[in-house]
């Protein structure tokens, strides 16, 4: 029987002994480390104003539930009332078990339709963030996503890439795309994550992690 990764090299015992003598790198994991699929963009917002806006939005609305906390910042023009389950999630693919077979879940969401900034938050700094990003690229669903302590997403891929703006984080909050894992500091920068590759987000820290996450309907073009 063959297994995924059978062609990868294995360590001989002498190589293994030598590897044990190497110093362990424990510093760089607490910093941002880019990869082709995770890049920092040359766009930076004021982290103090982002945190003030988060406090204000939470005061007005609050997160949708205790575990999957989401607050939409964009909507279909004129939208009122609750969001459908699919609009809160949307099409993704994953290999969910030992068959290693990729399957589709849920229905596609047309990100381009979510073109309006939620009017209730028009007076917050998040509106400025949306306007600035929109000068450079088309923005689809933009949400504030909270990930509670000791929580991970599924291992999946999406139809489109995403931008992340960390607002609250801790060193145990990590983003993984394909075989690369990095921490995204809450430094006001915009981070590109190519979530068309397999990815997950993990909060292995003690405090909740909060990011703005914006989908890019046009992808990289
Ligand atoms: Fe995703």
Match 């790198």 to its residue by tokens: 25
Distance 117 CA to ligand 1 centre (A): 21
What pLDDT shows up at residue 186?
98
Cβ-proximal residues to 1 (8 Å cutoff; 6+ apart), any chain:
none
Q: Where are the domains of the chain?
A: 32-215
Distance 174 CA to ligand 1 centre (A): 14
Given a contact cutoff of 8 angstroms between Cβ atoms, the answer to whether 167 and 22 are in contact is no
Distance 136 CA to ligand 1 centre (A): 22
Given a contact cutoff of 8 angstroms between Cβ atoms, the answer to whether 98 and 59 are in contact is no
d(CA 142, CA 75): 8
Question: What SS3 class is residue 103?
Answer: strand
Half-sphere exposure of 137 toward its Cβ, with a 13 Å CA cutoff?
Answer: 21
What pLDDT shows up at residue 83?
80
Given a contact cutoff of 8 angstroms between Cβ atoms, the answer to whether 94 and 157 are in contact is yes
Fold of the domain spanning 32-215 = Jelly Rolls (2.60.120)
**Neighbour tally for 196: CB within 10 Å:** 17
Distance 65 CA to ligand 1 centre (A): 18
Low-confidence residues of the chain: pLDDT under 50:
none
What pLDDT shows up at residue 221?
53
Cβ-proximal residues to 17 (8 Å cutoff; 6+ apart), any chain:
none
Please spell the DSSP secondary structure of 7-74, one letter per residue: TS----HHHHHHHHTSPP--SGGGS---BTTEEEEEEE--HHHHHHHHHHHHHHT--SSSSEEEEESE
Distance 24 CA to ligand 1 centre (A): 31
Distance 87 CA to ligand 1 centre (A): 14
Distance 200 CA to ligand 1 centre (A): 7
Distance 152 CA to ligand 1 centre (A): 11
Whole-prediction pTM value?
Answer: 0.93
What pLDDT digit, counting tens, does each position of 26-49 carry?
A: 889 999 999 999 999 999 999 999
What pLDDT shows up at residue 218?
72
Q: Are strands 209-215 and 199-203 parallel, antiparallel or unpaired?
A: unpaired
Residues, beta carbon < 5 Å, ion ligand 1 = 158, 195
Distance 30 CA to ligand 1 centre (A): 23
Distance 78 CA to ligand 1 centre (A): 26
Distance 153 CA to ligand 1 centre (A): 8
What pLDDT shows up at residue 85?
77
d(CA 67, CA 177): 22
Given a contact cutoff of 8 angstroms between Cβ atoms, the answer to whether 193 and 165 are in contact is no
Given a contact cutoff of 8 angstroms between Cβ atoms, the answer to whether 181 and 30 are in contact is no
């Amino acid at each position: 029987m063959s297994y995924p990764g059978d062609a990868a090299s294995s360590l001989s015992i002498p190589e293994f002994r030598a590897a044990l003598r190497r110093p362990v790198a424990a510093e760089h994991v607490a910093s941002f480390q880019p990869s082709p699929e995770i890049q920092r963009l040359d766009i930076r917002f004021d982290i103090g104003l982002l945190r003030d806006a988060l406090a204000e939005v939470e005061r007005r609305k609050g997160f949708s539930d205790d575990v999957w906390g989401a607050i939409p910042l964009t909507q279909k023009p004129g939208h009122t009332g609750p969001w459908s389950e699919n609009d809160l999630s949307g099409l993704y693919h994953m290999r969910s078990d030992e068959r290693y077979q990729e399957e589709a879940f849920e229905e596609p969401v047309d990100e381009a339709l979510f073109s309006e900034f939620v009017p209730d938050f028009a007076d917050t700094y998040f509106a400025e963030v949306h306007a600035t990003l929109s000068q450079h690229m088309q923005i689809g669903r933009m949400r504030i996503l909270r990930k509670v302590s000791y929580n991970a997403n599924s291992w999946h891929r999406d139809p489109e890439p995403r931008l992340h703006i960390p607002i609250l984080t801790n060193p145990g909050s990590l983003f993984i795309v394909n075989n690369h894992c990095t921490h995204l500091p809450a430094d006001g920068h915009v981070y590109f994550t190519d979530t068309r590759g397999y990815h997950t987000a993990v909060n292995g820290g003690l405090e909740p992690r909060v990011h703005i996450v914006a989908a890019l309907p046009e992808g990289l073009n």
